[in-house]
Chain A
Amino acid sequence: MKTKDKIIVKGVDFFYGRNQVLKNIHANFAEHAITAITGPSGQGKSTLLGLFNCMWNEVPGARCMGEIRIQLGNSWVSPLKKDVPLPLLRRKVAMIFQEPNPLPMSIARNMAFPLKLAGVRGTSIIAEKVRKALEQAFLWEEVKDRMEKSALDLSGGQKQRLCIARALVLEPEVLLCDEPTSSLDQRAAGIIEDLLISLKANCTLLVVSHYMDQMRRIADQVLALQDEGLERI
Chain B
Amino acid sequence: MNHDFAEKMVVIFSWMMTFLLCLLVTIFLGYLLTKGLPSLGAELIFGQADPLKAILGRARVFDGIFPAIVGTLCLVVLSTALALPVGVGSGIYLAEYARPGMKKLLGMLFDILAGIPSIVIGLFGFSLAVFLHNRFSDRFAPCLLISALSLAVLVLPYIVRSTQTSLEELPARLRKTALALGATKLQNIAYVLIPNALSGISSGIILAIGRCAEDTAVILLTGVVATAGIPSSLLSPYEALPFYIYYISNQYMNPAELSKGYGACLILLGICAALFMLAYGMKKQLSYRMLYRA
Give the B-binding residues of A (Cβ under 8 A). 53, 55, 58, 60, 86-88, 90-91, 94-95, 97, 99, 101, 103-106, 108-109, 112-114, 116-118, 150, 166-167, 170
Binary flags per residue of B178-213, CB closer than 8 Å to A gives 1, else 0? 111111100100011000100000000000000000
Q: Please state if B196 and A95 are interface contacts (CB–CB under 8 Å).
A: no
Q: Please state if A114 and B292 are interface contacts (CB–CB under 8 Å).
A: no
Q: Please state if A94 and B180 are interface contacts (CB–CB under 8 Å).
A: yes
A137 to B181, CA, bound (A): 16
Q: Please state if B294 and A113 are interface contacts (CB–CB under 8 Å).
A: no
Q: Please state if B182 and A105 are interface contacts (CB–CB under 8 Å).
A: no
A116 to B184, CA, bound (A): 12
A90 to B187, CA, bound (A): 14
Given A109-B294, A117-B191 in contact, is the A97-B176 Cβ separation under 8 Å?
A: yes
A34 to B187, CA, bound (A): 31
Q: Please state if A113 and B292 are interface contacts (CB–CB under 8 Å).
A: no
User: Is B3 an interface position by the 8 A CB rule?
Assistant: no
Give the A-binding residues of B (Cβ under 8 A). 100, 173-184, 187, 191-192, 196, 291-294
Q: Please state if A94 and B196 are interface contacts (CB–CB under 8 Å).
A: no
In the assembled complex, which residues on chain A have CB atoms less than 8 Å from the CB atom of B175? 58
Q: Please state if B173 and A117 are interface contacts (CB–CB under 8 Å).
A: no
A218 to B176, CA, bound (A): 27
Q: Please state if A109 and B179 are interface contacts (CB–CB under 8 Å).
A: no
In the assembled complex, which residues on chain B have CB atoms less than 8 Å from the CB atom of A86? 179, 184
Given A101-B173, A101-B174, A104-B196 in contact, is the A170-B181 Cβ separation under 8 Å?
A: yes
Q: Please state if B179 and A101 are interface contacts (CB–CB under 8 Å).
A: no
Q: Which residue of A lies closest to B192 (CB)?
A: A103
CB distance from B59 to the nearest CB of A (A): 51
Given A87-B184, A99-B173 in contact, is the A113-B178 Cβ separation under 8 Å?
A: yes
In the assembled complex, which residues on chain A have CB atoms less than 8 Å from the CB atom of B182? 87-88, 90-91, 114, 117-118, 170
Q: Please state if A58 and B179 are interface contacts (CB–CB under 8 Å).
A: yes
Q: Please state if B176 and A55 are interface contacts (CB–CB under 8 Å).
A: yes
In the assembled complex, which residues on chain A have CB atoms less than 8 Å from the CB atom of B180? 53, 55, 90, 94-95, 97, 167
A114 to B176, CA, bound (A): 13
In the assembled complex, which residues on chain B have CB atoms less than 8 Å from the CB atom of A118? 182
CB distance from A122 to the nearest CB of B (A): 13
CB distance from A157 to the nearest CB of B (A): 18
**A-B interface, 4 closest residue pairs, ranked by CB to CB distance from nearest:** A91-B182, A95-B180, A90-B182, A114-B181
Q: Which residue of B lies closest to A116 (CB)?
A: B191
Given A87-B182, A117-B182, A117-B191 in contact, is the A106-B292 Cβ separation under 8 Å?
A: yes
Enumerate 27 A-B pairs (CB-CB under 8 Å) in ascending A order: A58-B176, A87-B183, A87-B184, A88-B182, A90-B180, A90-B181, A90-B182, A94-B181, A95-B180, A97-B176, A97-B180, A99-B173, A101-B176, A103-B174, A103-B177, A103-B178, A103-B291, A109-B291, A109-B294, A113-B178, A113-B191, A114-B182, A116-B191, A117-B178, A117-B187, A117-B191, A167-B181
CB distance from B186 to the nearest CB of A (A): 10
In the assembled complex, which residues on chain B have CB atoms less than 8 Å from the CB atom of A88? 182
A113 to B177, CA, bound (A): 11
